[in-house]
Structure 1
Amino acid sequence: MKKAGKWLTILMAAALTTGALSACGGQNNNNATGQVEEANKGGNETSQESAKPESGGSSQDATQSYEDWTGHTVEVPTQPQRVIFHGETTGDLAALGVSPVGIMLSSVEGTLSEKQFQDAQDVGFPFNVEKAVELDPDLIIFGNSDEAQYGTIAKVAPTVTFDTFGSLDERLTKLGQLLGKQEEAKQWLEAYHTQEAAMWKAIRDGGIGEDETATVFTMYPGNRLFAMANTGLSQILYSEGGLKPTPLVQEALDAGQGFVEISFEKLPEYAGDHLFLLTPVDGAAVNELKELEKGQVWSGLEAVQKGNVYTFGLLEAYSDALSREWLIQQLPKALLKSE
């Protein structure tokens, strides 16, 4: 799949799975960034789905009964060796040290985790059943709730549906169960949350108040403007100890939406104290975003006038575990305007 079409793929997949789709300088900034780096030297929700191991046989042949995201009870291997992961958060597997045999390549093209999956085969979007058969998987993790597709894919190998738009904790915990990596998932999450807490402390110490709000925007071709909610960069911004969503973004979060398409005129109603722009992949959308930034509505926003606007590449600000680690390093630099 071409990179220009990646954002459309993400939006389509999100719609299927979610049901919708002040700065301080000088020494304070240096100290704040240092706190995060120090925490990082120390190391890198509980699942509602059940997994019950079956006794007998070798560990490689052992199976467990697993209830997946959409309610299927599936007999899956406890130590799968040939995994196909078809979803948007492929980088989660790298955090657990798992190398899948098949992935949705468009989910990693141009991202921070692309090199981690250079040996994996592309099973396409939509899911290519013939390619999956060639890969001879012993487990397929399918990030979609479409029952018709599931029925076809499940004929290839044991298949479980998986909510790739769940929280980081939910995803890693469930993947740990499915992949025989429970301890790795636990250790990774503990280290991550230590780093995340240090990041927010650094940002608070740098002068960003506890009640300050933030909004993430991006553009899709055709002047389609989106305010992001329960996906990507927003998930870390609105995490415990983080920045607050504006009321309209909170409504989207409460509704379980990944994003909301809005008109340019609605920008002031969605805009927070800090604005994050995700640079699109598509060239036309990049130009349209630049035009938006030149307009009166955008330039009239208080955050813009105060210089509280931060830009990240769309492909850098994914929801997966590796992207979240990267964002922990980058957010203090952006918000505190430090290098």
Structure 2
Amino acid sequence: MKKSLLAILLFMLFFLAACGGNEQENDDNTEESNTEDTSEFSPVTVEGENGEVTISEKPERIIAPYMEDALVALGVKPVAQWFLGGSPQEYLQDELADVDTIEWNMPLEQTLSYEPDLLILSALDNMEGQLSDYENIATTYVFKPEDLADVRKQVTIVGKLLGKEQEAEDRIDQYEEKIASAKEALSDTVGEETVAVLWAIGDQYFMFEQDRHTGEVIYGELGLKPSPLTVELGEAEETWNPISLEKIAELETDHLFLLGEEDAAGIQTLQNSEVYKSLPVVQNEQVYRITDASNWTNRGIVAFEKTVDDILEAFGE
């Protein structure tokens, strides 16, 4: 599915992450949250960026724009999913393909049309309404930035909000096991060889810092060694600045993950560039193409797991 590259780029640069589209009316075919179990729900109070939020009854109709990763991890479907630039988050569509979309900035009238009983927001920046507007529609929880930045806390908190604390615990244990197994396999396969991640979007290039999106799982949790240029970039800043083709010419790495759609202008430029083709990593055929960057450019347990799978596949594990 084609994306509006400009819209996605603007969102990645300015929307807080660490971070309707189709304006269709909610109809009889719209699935409600997948909260069909009949277990008793105990009221819970959770501290968010907007203070203490109390959930008195089991949420049934949930909207959590750009937080659907945590919902999917717990087997829950929202009544509408985040949407920007032509598509929702691609890597979640096996589970959410039949879920309506809602514009990324949560228009109030559109939000109200889905009659939600719980809104889970990653932040209020760039939303159409104010906190009070959303609270007038439904119980609203806003993530603290430090909790949003931790994929385990994402799942833990959403689990508390939905009365799925044990499921959240189990899901995190499953994630830990996957990371431990992958780390061991890659330690034998890759060892101390260096890894870099480059994303071509439109005609621009963005290099993942060690803590940018899935850089956290690649370098932090899997323990893969960053390239010198990756180290030089330092910590990720809120604004993600592109790097030049001249800077890419300085890239010294044993392995390169190159993200970008097949017809992206930047990919075509690289493939025709003598500078790029002369890089040792290219000449050694250690470049791994990823055409769907959606899970690589997100921060969530499902995104991290799918990225781990991509890496294992690239290295023949």
Settle same-fold status: TM greater than 0.5: yes
In 2, the alpha carbon distance for the partners of 1:168 and 1:227 equals 21
Relative distance call for 1:14 and 1:96 in structure 2 (3 A) is farther
**Structure 1 pair 103–333 and aligned structure 2 pair: CA distance change class (3 A):** closer
Say if 2:206 is the partner of 1:226.
yes
Residues 252/170 of structure 1: CA separation in 2 closer, same or farther (3 Å cut): farther
- Counterpart selection for 1:315 from 294, 304, 308: 294
Percent of aligned positions with the same letter in both sequences?
A: 25
Find 1:100's aligned residue among 70, 74, 78.
78
**1:165–1:231 contact (8 Å) kept in structure 2:** no
Tell me, in whole angstroms, the C-alpha distance in 1 between the residues paired with 2:176 and 2:75. Answer: 19
Letter in 2 for 1:302: P
2:46 paired residue among 66, 81, 92: 66
Per the alignment, do residues 228 and 258 of structure 1 end up closer, same or farther by CA in structure 2, a change over 3 Å counting?
A: farther
Residue in structure 1 matched with residue 169 of structure 2 by the alignment = 186
Q: The residue matched to 2:220 in structure 1 has which SS?
A: coil
Contact 1:228 1:258 in 2 (8 A): no
**Which residue in the other structure is 1:306 paired with?**
284
- Counterparts of 2:237 and 2:156, CA distance in 1: 20
Gaps of 5+ in 1: 22-57
1:174-253 superposed matches below 5 A = 174-206=157-189, 208-209=190-191, 211-221=192-202, 223-229=203-209, 230-250=211-231
- Confirm or deny that 1:120 pairs with 2:103: no
Q: How far apart, in 1, do the equivalents of 2:148 and 2:290 lie?
A: 20
* Structure 2 gap segments, 5+ residues each: 20-38
Instruction: Compare 128-137 and 117-126 and name the one that shifted more.
Output: 117-126
Tell me the equivalent position of 1:32.
none
Deviation at 1:310, TM superposition (A): 0.6
- Post-superposition Cα deviations, 1:156-177, rounded to whole Å, max 9, x if no partner, equal 1121223596232232222222
8 Å CA contact 1:227–1:270 kept in 2: the answer is no
Q: Is the 8 A contact 1:95 1:188 kept in 2?
A: yes
Q: Is the 8 A contact 2:17 2:122 kept in 1?
A: no
Cα distance change of structure 1 residues 7 and 316 upon mapping to structure 2, 3 Å threshold: farther
Match for 2:121: what amino acid? F
1:157 aligns with 2:157: no
> 188-197 or 248-257: which moved more?
248-257
With over 3 angstroms needed to count, the CA separation of the structure-2 counterparts of 1:270 and 1:153, relative to structure 1, is: farther
- Partner of 2:257 in structure 1? 276
Point out which structure has higher relative CO (alpha carbons under 8 A, 6+ apart): 1
Match of 1:294 among 272, 284, 287: 272
Name which of structure 1's ranges 265-274 and 253-262 shifts more when overlaid on structure 2. 253-262
Distance 1:141 1:301 in 2: 45
The 1-side partners of 2:44 and 2:126 are apart by: 22
The 1:287/1:199 distance shift into structure 2, 3 A limit, reads: same
Q: Residues 198 and 214 of structure 1: is their aligned pair in 2 closer, same or farther, counting only changes over 3 Å?
A: same
Corresponding pairs, count? 290
Secondary structure class of the residue paired with 1:104: strand
Per the normalisation by structure 1, the TM-score is: 0.73
CA positional deviation for 1:237: 1.2
TM-score normalised to the size of structure 2? 0.78
Structure 1 distance, partners of 2:179, 2:45, is 34
Please tell me the residue identity of whatever aligns with 1:144: A
* CA distance in 1: counterparts of 2:184 and 2:57, whole angstroms: 39
Q: Which residue of 1 aligns with 2:311?
A: 331
User: SS at the partner of 1:272?
Assistant: coil
Does the C-alpha gap of structure 1 residues 118 and 78 become closer, same or farther in structure 2, counting only changes over 3 Å? same
**Which 4+ stretches in 1 moved above 6 angstroms?**
none
SS at match of 2:90: coil
Sort the Cα spacing of 1:177 and 1:76 in 2 relative to 1 into closer, same or farther, 3 A: same
- Shift of the 325–258 alpha-carbon distance from structure 1 to 2, 3 Å rule, reads farther
User: Is contact 1:138-1:158 (8 Å) kept?
Assistant: yes
In the TM superposition, what whole-angstrom CA distance separates every residue of 1:174-210 from its partner, at most 9, and x where no partner exists? 222222222111111111221221112112223x12x
